[in-house]
């Protein structure tokens, strides 16, 4: 596995690979890699001749007071997992390499930037879209692989690729989960033992929504209330336990990311964001709506 930290060096290397007729896949990450990242890399490797994995904790997608400084990092472990998952080139730039002095160009988008995650993290998607655009310019991939856990992010990247005519195919891979259903995330390491037990309620609430929808439920408000009750009531809180705080439970169309008040169409994305003390977790599920 090659390790490259320089933007110009990786651009030259990627251009060389393209001239050689190699098909390139990229998996952008912020590091602290886990099995979920590994599944993305393995999928990407199956799609291409050369896999580039990027590790960059992107400061522009963190808002004031968020966890940029304390975001978990372990580059030695990351190198090992990336290599085992089939990475051919590991890109590990520093902030000054990605955002040199005088940098002032950002990707902006419409309403989808300001709803759900964008409402609670107003500058987040501007930073995400910008860094993904930069990474694609640097790595010159034919295919880029992202995880479904960040469903709104994946939608925004797909929209950006279409709107700006990137010569690129975006693949969205299924969510990798722990045995109890919790979506794998680098931020799970922040959870206390009590919070980790209670976090299983996120997947349980999604499973409840799926079961209800398959049985014919249509009332979004009723489903949301039932999911919130599961999230807030899954654990008998003791004196030291802090109750979960729900940022949102939302039902949106997969193609337009428009929020639904009643379930229509053939499928729905159910998305949620929940805080456990200082740890904020997101999850989602794509559910088919029965034709009844």
Could you report the average pLDDT of every consecutive run of 10 residues in the chain (292 residues)?
98 98 98 98 98 98 94 98 98 98 96 94 97 98 98 97 97 97 97 95 98 95 96 56 84 93 92 96 96 72
Beta bridge partner(s), residue 24: 50
Find all residues with CB under 8 Å of 12, minimum gap 6, and list them.
none
Question: How confident is the model over 188-202, as pLDDT tens digits?
Answer: 999 999 999 999 999
Verify whether residue 37 is a known catalytic residue.
Answer: yes
**Type and span of the H or E element at 19:** helix 7-19
- Find the catalytic residue in 23, 34, 37, 208: 37
- pLDDT at position 242: 56
Query: What CA–CA distance (Å, rounded) separates 87 from 37?
Result: 11
Query: What CA–CA distance (Å, rounded) separates 52 from 88?
Result: 6
- pLDDT at position 244: 85
* Whether the Cβ atoms of residue 177 and residue 285 lie closer than 8 Å to each other: no
Beta pairing, strands 169-173 & 89-91:
unpaired
Query: What CA–CA distance (Å, rounded) separates 165 from 162?
Result: 5
Give the pTM. Answer: 0.94
Residue for token digits 């559910």? 287
Query: What CA–CA distance (Å, rounded) separates 279 from 143?
Result: 32
* Whether the Cβ atoms of residue 212 and residue 219 lie closer than 8 Å to each other: no
* Whether the Cβ atoms of residue 112 and residue 46 lie closer than 8 Å to each other: no
């Amino acid at each position: 596995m090659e390790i490259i930290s320089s933007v110009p060096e990786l651009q030259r290397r990627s251009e060389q690979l393209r001239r050689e007729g190699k098909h390139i896949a990229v998996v952008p990450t912020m590091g602290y890699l886990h099995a979920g990242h590994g599944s993305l890399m393995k999928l990407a490797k199956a799609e291409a001749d050369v896999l580039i994995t990027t590790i960059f904790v992107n400061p522009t997608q963190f808002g004031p007071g968020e966890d940029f400084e304390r975001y978990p990092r372990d580059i030695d472990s990351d190198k090992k997992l990336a290599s085992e998952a089939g990475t051919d080139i590991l890109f590990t730039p520093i902030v000054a390499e990605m955002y040199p002095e005088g940098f002032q160009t950002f990707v902006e988008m419409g309403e989808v930037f300001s709803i759900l995650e964008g409402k609670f993290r107003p500058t987040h998607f501007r930073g995400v879209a910008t860094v993904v655009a930069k990474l694609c310019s640097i790595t010159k991939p034919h295919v880029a692989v992202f995880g479904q856990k960040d469903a709104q992010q994946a939608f925004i990247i797909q929209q950006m690729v279409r709107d700006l005519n990137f010569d690129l195919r975006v693949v969205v891979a299924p969510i990798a989960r722990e045995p109890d259903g919790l979506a794998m995330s680098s931020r799970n390491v922040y959870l206390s033992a009590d919070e980790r037990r209670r976090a299983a309620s996120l997947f349980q609430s999604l499973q409840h929504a799926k079961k209800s929808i398959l049985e014919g439920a249509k009332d979004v408000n009723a489903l949301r209330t039932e999911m919130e009750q599961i999230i807030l009531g899954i654990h008998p809180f003791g004196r030291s336990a802090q109750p979960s705080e729900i940022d949102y439970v939302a039902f949106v169309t997969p193609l337009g990311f428009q929020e639904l008040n009643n379930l229509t169409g053939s499928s729905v994305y159910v998305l949620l964001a929940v805080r456990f003390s200082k740890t904020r977790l997101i999850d989602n599920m794509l559910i088919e709506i029965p034709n009844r």
